[in-house]
Amino acid sequence: MSSTEFLEGLKNEFPGAITKIDIGYGQKFAEFSSNAAASIFNVCSTNERGRFDLLEDLLAYDSGDDIVLVYNLYSTLLNHRVILKTSLHRKEPSILTATTVWLAALSYEKEIAELFGVRFKNHTTEIPFLLPKDWQGFPMRKDYVYPGGYSGIAHGSGVERRKR
Amino acid sequence: MAFVFSRLDDLATWAQTHSLSFLFLDLSCCGIEMMHTTGGRYDLERFGAVQVASPKQADLMIVAGSISYKYAETLKKNYEQMCDPKWVMAIGSCAGSGGMFEGEFSYSTVSGVDKILPVDVYVPGCPPRPEAIMHGLLTLQKGIVKCRAQNSWKDSKTSSPEL
């Protein structure tokens, strides 16, 4: 239960930044505002009751209104985990990179930057990871419109399919 | 004399159809079936088809699996490096028509290798069994014989896409 204590402590330390604490599905969630990302990442990795030294997963989803980032943190020293969530405006989503604290975030952030258009400040590289270099748009967003084609190849077979 | 030359031509046809060296592009799960076909149990090599590592040595390109837009350029470059006469086999639904990734189902997948290259034989299936792939190769061999009989494989290929 030490991660619950840790989250309570975090909320007392950053009363404005931590907006919500939730326990459900056997997991502990905390929602934080993206402005306080730097200090929250540092506290999570260094705090005596937290000591989250492993970023297990960093994922993103489009909720329709916002782009939501989900950080799954695990402490190999204290054997507990916590899930941090933050919502970013879909017009210009940007957040500080987590690579300075957890290096594992490097390729996750590259992928999210490409597929969701999130800008990670102070990220080391901006080389495209999965998509071609001149790809337009962010494919994993809900308002993404499929391309008519790419480099002279028309998209689709031109055969009408039955609507789902 | 004409008889001798026609017999020689038959010999050359037989040699060409039974010494196809193929470049195998394993792009997704159909590749596993293709590996199985070249393996010990099904043994594609008994039909004279042998896998080569470089497109410069190959005269048949076997495309097995879904093609992403990012890979399409590489595929074209590989095809251009092959020497004439050259043939292309599309294995599986994805290489044939895009399959389950066609059109609205994926933003990044080419709807069939025939959008990029001229295809000679399509082998349908998701994935096709090794017997089907073998049948595809035998169909191609028959097609090569037919084209050589017309003595203009290139013209016949450009005028009608099916052999």
What pLDDT, on the 0 to 100 scale, is given for residue B162? 46
Expressed as residue numbers, the domain containing A91 is: 2-149
Distance in Å, alpha carbon of B151 to nearest chain A alpha carbon:
33
Residues of A in contact with B72 (CB under 8 A): 150-151, 153
pLDDT at A104 over 80: yes
Residues of B in contact with A161 (CB under 8 A): 102-104
pLDDT at A162 over 70: no
Rounded to an integer, what distance in angstroms lies between the CA atom of residue A161 and that of residue B23? 33
Q: Give domain status of residue A157, yes or no.
A: no
Inter-chain touch A144–B107, beta carbons under 8 Å:
yes
Rounded to an integer, what distance in angstroms lies between the CA atom of residue A73 and that of residue A85? 11
The mean per-residue pLDDT over the stretch B84-106 comes to 87
Contact with chain B for residue A140, Cβ under 8 A? no
Amino acid at A151: S
Can you name the residues that pair with B138 across neighbouring β-strands?
Answer: none
Distance in Å, alpha carbon of A160 to nearest chain B alpha carbon:
9
pLDDT over 90 for what percent of chain A?
A: 18
Q: With beta carbons less than 8 A apart as the criterion, state whether A69 and A86 touch.
A: yes
Complex ipTM > 0.90: no
Rounded to an integer, what distance in angstroms lies between the CA atom of residue A95 and that of residue B103? 34
The mean per-residue pLDDT over the stretch A100-105 comes to 89
B74 CB-side CA count, 13 A: 9
What lies within 8 Å, CB to CB, of B77 at 6+ separation is none
The dihedral through the CA atoms of B49, B50, B54, B57 has a sign that is negative
The mean per-residue pLDDT over the stretch A64-69 comes to 91
What pLDDT, on the 0 to 100 scale, is given for residue B130? 92
The mean per-residue pLDDT over the stretch A44-70 comes to 89
Q: Give domain status of residue B100, yes or no.
A: yes
Chain mean pLDDT for chain A: 85
Contact with chain B for residue A162, Cβ under 8 A? no
- For chain A, the C-alpha Rg in angstroms (whole number) is 19
Rounded to an integer, what distance in angstroms lies between the CA atom of residue A5 and that of residue A13? 12
Residues of A in contact with B102 (CB under 8 A): 156-157, 159, 161
Q: With beta carbons less than 8 A apart as the criterion, state whether B98 and B68 touch.
A: no
Between B104 and B73, name the one with better pLDDT: B73
Expressed as residue numbers, the domain containing B74 is: 20-154
B100-139 residues touching A, CB cutoff 8 A: 102-104, 107-108, 110-112, 115-116
Rounded to an integer, what distance in angstroms lies between the CA atom of residue B31 and that of residue B89? 13
Q: Give domain status of residue B119, yes or no.
A: yes
Residues of B in contact with A159 (CB under 8 A): 102-103
Between A89 and A126, name the one with better pLDDT: A89
Q: Give domain status of residue B61, yes or no.
A: yes
Question: How many structural domains does chain A have?
Answer: 1
- Assign residue A70 the CATH number of its domain: 3.30.460.80
Q: Give domain status of residue A60, yes or no.
A: yes
Q: Give domain status of residue A45, yes or no.
A: yes
pLDDT band for position A160 (cuts 50, 70, 90): low
Q: Give domain status of residue A155, yes or no.
A: no
Rounded to an integer, what distance in angstroms lies between the CA atom of residue B95 and that of residue B97? 6
Question: How many structural domains does chain B have?
Answer: 1
What pLDDT, on the 0 to 100 scale, is given for residue A150? 84
User: Checking DSSP bridges between strand A149-150 and strand A153-154, what pairing results, if any?
Assistant: antiparallel
Rounded to an integer, what distance in angstroms lies between the CA atom of residue A106 and that of residue B42? 44
Q: Is A111 helix (H, G, I), strand (E, B) or coil?
A: helix
Inter-chain touch B108–A151, beta carbons under 8 Å:
no
Contact with chain B for residue A127, Cβ under 8 A? no
Q: Give domain status of residue A156, yes or no.
A: no
Among A2-6, B41-45, B128-132, where is mean pLDDT lowest? A2-6
Alpha helices in chain B, H assignment, sequence order? 2-17, 30-38, 69-81, 92-97, 130-149, 153-159
pLDDT at A159 over 80: no
Which residue from B103, B108, B116 is facing A156, i.e. has the nearest CB? B103
Q: Give domain status of residue B12, yes or no.
A: no
pLDDT band for position B163 (cuts 50, 70, 90): very low
pLDDT at B156 over 50: no
Q: Give domain status of residue A160, yes or no.
A: no
pLDDT band for position B21 (cuts 50, 70, 90): very high
Chain mean pLDDT for chain B: 84
